[in-house]
Amino acid sequence: MSRLIKILKPAPPIPEIKGHAKVAKEYRYWRWRIFYSMYFGYIFYYFTRKSFTFAMPALMVDLGLNEADLGMLGTLWALAYGISKFTSGILADRSNPRYFLSIGLILTGILNIFFGLSSSIVFFSLFWGLNGWFQGWGWPGCARLLTHWYSQKERGRWWGVWNTSHNVGGAIIPLIAAYCAMRWGWRSAMYVPGVACIGLGFILMNRLRDTPQSLGLPSIEKFKNDYPTKDHNDTEKELSVKQILVGYILKNKYIWLLAAAYFFVYIVRQAINDWSVLFLMRQKGYEALMASTCVSLFEVGGFFGSLAAGWGSDSIFKGKRGPVNALFMVGVFGSVVAFYFAPGQYVVLNHALVFLIGFFVFGPQMLIGVAAAELSHKKAAATATGFTGCFAYLGAAVAGFPLGWVINKFGWYQYFVIIAACSIVATLILLPLWPVNTNPSRMAKAAK
């Protein structure tokens, strides 16, 4: 354990490289290397996150499990992941993401293999719950890297492109898992992604690094002359766990607003992702393949929505995330309502509306995390995004069994009323953040 703690310890700064040309060259190289590494790393996190979903039908037939058994596993995973995002955020702010990200990915791969070796609901629950826990090491580690290597005026674009790794991973893993399950059985749909993630985890150890200062480079704020506060030393001061939690998270009104909004955003995101195929089949008369094809456009829309939200917040609103978050949630409301009322025979329209829901919902899904990192402190970015992410996955849990009960008890109209209402509530919560660029006080007094 002591060796693991030593490995995870942040890399110390080394003497700064002299010469602007050399610094610029090194920054250009390392920024691209770190970006593509964490981009592919997060794609592979999705491989071990979603493999179970697409192995479920074959697993049910093989072992005689029912929907309630598998629903329990999904709820357990979501709760473990949500709690882990917060606790892992605290750890990530005081760790080296080079090892934090890679070790987390390796462990999820190992747990996928253990899951595939199991045949008992008890061991399924154990290994899938642990998988959810170590999945929580992915986002905070990336948040730390994105905050330290990309300045505020450009961060929306970089974060937006990185966020498309969700959609790429979500689009690829169904093909891999389904092919493996059909060809070699459901266990191979857990083994193959598991082995792949173990391999990539070791590649990440080689590719990633910690902060720019650990490579002899100036801070990104100094290099880009893009300081979020007038106190240029504020962004680089080290913080204790108490300072991070109390001063920059629990006493920070912005973080609480973002967390509350995230809760409702994720109800919508998860609800559309989980229930739309069933809605299209039962209410609009679609066959399974057509319904699945339609819902796949949710991820495609999310890909472009992340890019548009990041670009818009940087280029149009000059680093303000609040306007884009609020406007996109208005778009979510409109497209959700239209999706319910669109006649089933208008296939192209229904496909377009699912694309639009994904486009609009993935904007806030990404930018709320960016805002949380920027409205806390550079050294508390992982904790802030992890804290808000915990609330997000509580929302995702609500979209599971509770909304399923609503559909079964009251029908689809009431289901759509709820997710439309969630869109409105999220918009109202985000509106006060419209004029906020960065936390002007940085909660300085509270953090002392």
Q: Domains, the chain, ranges and CATH?
A: 17-221 (1.20.1250.20), 240-439+442-446 (1.20.1250.20)
Alpha carbon dihedral 45, 49, 53, 58, in 10-degree steps, equals 80
* Separation of CA 374 from chain center: 16
5: left (phi over 0), alpha (psi -120 to 50) or beta: alpha
* CB 398, CB 267: distance < 8 Å: yes
Which two structure tokens, joined as six digits, stand for 155? 């961060």
pLDDT tens by residue, 292-328: 778 888 888 999 999 999 999 988 988 889 999 999 9
With bands split at pLDDT 50, 70 and 90, how would you rate the model's confidence at 447? very low
With bands split at pLDDT 50, 70 and 90, how would you rate the model's confidence at 155? confident
* Separation of CA 259 from chain center: 14
d(C-alpha 149, C-alpha 310), whole Å: 16
Task: Give yes or no for residue 224 having a pLDDT over 80.
Answer: yes
Tokens 């025979």, residue?
345
Reduce the DSSP state of residue 29 to 3 states and report it. Answer: helix
pLDDT tens by residue, 385-423: 888 988 998 898 888 778 888 888 888 999 999 999 999
Task: Give yes or no for residue 227 having a pLDDT over 90.
Answer: no
Task: Give yes or no for residue 438 having a pLDDT over 70.
Answer: no
Percent of the chain with pLDDT over 90: 48
Task: Between 375 and 56, name the one with better pLDDT.
Answer: 375
* CB 104, CB 134: distance < 8 Å: yes
Reduce the DSSP state of residue 9 to 3 states and report it. Answer: coil
Cα angle 204, 46, 67; round to 5: 150
With bands split at pLDDT 50, 70 and 90, how would you rate the model's confidence at 58? confident
* Separation of CA 344 from chain center: 32
**Residues near 445 by beta carbon (within 8 Å), at least 6 away in sequence:** none
* CB 17, CB 216: distance < 8 Å: yes
Average pLDDT over residues 331-347: 95
pLDDT tens by residue, 176-219: 887 888 788 889 989 999 999 999 999 999 999 999 999 999 99
Task: Give yes or no for residue 175 having a pLDDT over 90.
Answer: no
With bands split at pLDDT 50, 70 and 90, how would you rate the model's confidence at 89? confident
